[in-house]
């Protein structure tokens, strides 16, 4: 029997630097997605606690320091209460989840995609390999140990975060691990809409998989009163969404939706993966290991706990 799976892309605004409200909102999104039949839900990049749109202001600005300190205080730990709360929410809803969040280990913070099964097991934490531009003021670098596929709701699932999609060898590494559903976690920046369209559709074709691309909507009026005053630059906080669901041939199953808080759904028919790989299989009949080889260090580089 052909495998089918209902996937959801969550395009809700985050609760910026508010862990308690963020966890409640995550629980509500999981419950809503599950009630609509979804078996797996993908959230945007660092959705829990919010993407650091504030990172591009001057580090001498006291607002930067205040936001950084608050993030360092609230960022999740692997075995902490907040992570367990996320796992329980997934189990209560009975839905597998790929959640973008901030992880703290020692004195460092990481941009992470957390893979949580429908029974609440934490299957993998993938740390973004390379923070982009001013993100380097916020996050440390990941390593090659967590570039893995995990079994979620009967599907092989992996993914990348933001500009990791531009790392050719990272895309190939995921293909080697086997993938049926690729979770693409992005922020809401409107200026990269074209990049995201090209990147997500390309990896769907290149790796012969479905892609669930999740982005948030955001605006300055959604910031809580616990945050510094950013009213002088509202454009900094504008995120226009653009989540989508893409078939293995690179065509849209659900086209990008902009400027609306919503959850996107579509049933994924895995027969389409077989059709796509018959035409092009980058790690199968279309590979040339006699010509090209990937050297990949999968050993963990464990930071100070």
C-beta of residue 85 within 8 angstroms of C-beta of residue 120: no
Helix ranges (H only) for the chain are 19-35, 62-74, 81-93, 168-177, 193-207, 271-279
Catalytic choice (15, 103, 135, 162): 162
Indicate the SS3 state at residue 257. strand
Judge whether 128 counts as a catalytic residue. Answer: yes
C-beta of residue 210 within 8 angstroms of C-beta of residue 42: no
Catalytic choice (45, 164, 206, 216): 45
Q: Which residues pair with 241 in a beta bridge?
A: 258
Distance CA 67, CA 78 (A): 22
Q: In the block, which residue shows the tokens 């993908």?
A: 42
Strand-strand pairing, 181-185 and 210-214: parallel
C-beta of residue 252 within 8 angstroms of C-beta of residue 43: no
Q: Helix 193-207 to helix 168-177 angle, to the nearest 10 degrees?
A: 40
Q: Which residues pair with 266 in a beta bridge?
A: 7
How remote is the C-alpha of 72 from its chain's centroid? 20
Judge whether 162 counts as a catalytic residue. Answer: yes
How remote is the C-alpha of 26 from its chain's centroid? 14
Which token pair is 286?
A: 């279309």
Distance CA 27, CA 12 (A): 12
Q: Which residues pair with 258 in a beta bridge?
A: 241
Catalytically active residues are 45, 128, 162
């Amino acid at each position: 029997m052909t495998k089918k799976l209902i996937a959801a892309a969550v395009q809700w605004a985050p609760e910026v630097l508010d862990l308690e409200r963020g966890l409640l909102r995550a629980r509500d999104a999981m419950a809503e997605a599950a009630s609509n039949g979804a078996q797996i839900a993908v959230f945007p990049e660092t959705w829990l606690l919010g993407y650091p749109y504030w990172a591009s202001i001057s580090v001498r600005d006291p607002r930067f320091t205040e936001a950084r300190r608050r993030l360092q205080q609230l960022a999740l730990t692997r075995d902490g209460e907040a992570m367990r709360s996320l796992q329980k929410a997934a189990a209560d809803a009975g839905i597998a989840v790929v959640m973008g969040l901030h992880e703290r280990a020692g004195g460092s913070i990481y941009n992470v995609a957390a893979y949580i099964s429908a029974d609440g097991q934490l299957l993998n934490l993938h740390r973004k390999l390379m923070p982009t531009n001013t993100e380097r003021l916020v996050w440390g670098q990941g390593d090659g140990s967590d570039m893995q596929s995990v079994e979620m709701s009967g599907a092989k699932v992996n993914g990348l975060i933001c500009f990791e999609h531009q790392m050719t060898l990272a895309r190939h590494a995921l293909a080697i691990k086997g993938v049926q559903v690729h979770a693409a976690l992005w922020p809401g920046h409107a200026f990269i809409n074209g990049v995201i369209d090209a990147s997500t559709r390309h990896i769907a074709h290149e790796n012969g998989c479905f892609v669930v691309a999740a982005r948030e909507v955001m605006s300055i009026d959604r910031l809580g009163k616990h945050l510094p005053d950013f009213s002088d630059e509202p454009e900094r906080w504008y995120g226009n969404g653009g989540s989508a669901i893409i078939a293995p041939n690179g065509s849209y199953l659900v086209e990008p939706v902009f400027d609306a808080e919503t959850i996107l759904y579509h049933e994924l028919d895995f027969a389409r993966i077989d059709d796509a790989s018959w035409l092009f299989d980058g790690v199968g009949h279309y590979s040339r290991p006699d010509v090209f080889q990937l050297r990949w260090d999968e050993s963990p580089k464990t930071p100070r706990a």
